[in-house]
Amino acid sequence: MTSLTWTAVCPLDAIPLEGGVAALVDGSAVAVFRTHDGAVFAIGNVDPFSGASVLSRGIVGNRGDAPVVSSPMYKQAFDLRTGQCLDDDSVRVPTYEVSVVDGVVHVGGAG
C-alpha cells in the first residue's frame, strides 16, 4: 500500500449516483463508479469480452449482495468490489484503490 501513487480524478459529485466515469490513471483507463449508498469503486475500464474501453458506461445496480456494473457491450455483470465477472468465473477485471479526500476522488495504482 505504501508504494501506491494516488491520482486525483474528479470531484465526488462529478460521478453520477449509480453511474460511472472513465479516468486515466498512470496511462490506464479506469472506470470509477458511485453506488446508491455513496460508496466509490474503481475497476479497469476495458471490457474483457470485447476489448473495448467502455465499462464506465454500463448500468450500475446490484446482483444479490454484490454491487455490479453490467458491460454496455454484451451485458456481463462485474462485481465492483472484486472485479469478478459474475457470468464467467474465469474472468476478472483489475480493481483499484479509491479514496475520497476533501470531496475529491483519488485512485491508486492497480491494487
Partner 1 sequence: MVTGKRQRIVVVGHGMVGHRFAQAAVERGLTETHDVLVVGEEPRAAYDRVALTSWFGHPDGAEGLSLLPGGEYDDPRVRLVLDSVVTEVDRDARTVTVVSPPSAAGDLLADPGAVTVHEYDVLVLATGAAPFVPPVEGRGKAGCFVYRTIEDLEAIRTASETATSGVVIGGGLLGLEAANALVQLGLDTHVVEMAPRLMPVQLDAAAGSTLVRHVERLGVKVHTGVVTEEILGDEQVTGVRLADREIETQVVVFSAGIRPRDALARECDLEVAPRGGVLVDEQCRTSDPHVFAIGECAAPGGTMYGLVAPGYAMAEVVVDALLDGPGTFTGADMSTKLKLLGVDVASFGDAFAATDGALELTYSDAVAGIYKKLVVSEDGTRLLGGILVGDASAYGVLRPMVSSGIALPDNPEQLILPASSGVQLGMPDEAQVCSCNDVTKADILHAVAEQGCEDVAAVKQCTRAGSTCGSCVATVKNIIEDHFASVGKVVDKGLCEHFRLTRQELFDVVAVHGYRRFDDIVEAHGTGRGCDICKPAIASILASQTSTHILEPATAELQDTNDKYLGNIQRNGTYSVVPRIPGGEITPEKLIVIGEVARDFGLYTKITGGQRIDLFGARMEQLPVIWKRLVDAGFESGHAYGKSLRTVKSCVGSTWCRYGVQDSVGLAIALELRYRGLRSPHKLKGGVSGCARECAEARGKDFGVIATEKGWNLYVGGNGGATPAHARLLAGDLDTATLVAYLDRFLMYYVRTADRLQRTSTWIDQLEGGLDRVREVVVEDSLGLGAELEAEMARHVGGYEDEWRATLEDPSKLERFVSFVNAPGTPDPTIAFTTERDQIQPIAPALIPVGAPA
Query: Given candidates 73, 87, 97, 109, which one binds partner 1 under the rule CB under 8 A?
Result: 73
Min CB(23)–partner 1 separation in Å: 5
DSSP code, position 16: P
- Gap between the Cα atoms of 55 and 96, Å rounded: 14
- Gap between the Cα atoms of 99 and 91, Å rounded: 26
- Run of H or E including 30: strand 28-34
Residues in contact with partner 1 by CB under 8 A are 7-10, 14, 16-19, 21-24, 29, 32, 35-36, 44, 46, 48, 50-54, 57-64, 67-68, 70, 72-73, 75, 77, 82-83, 90-95, 110-111
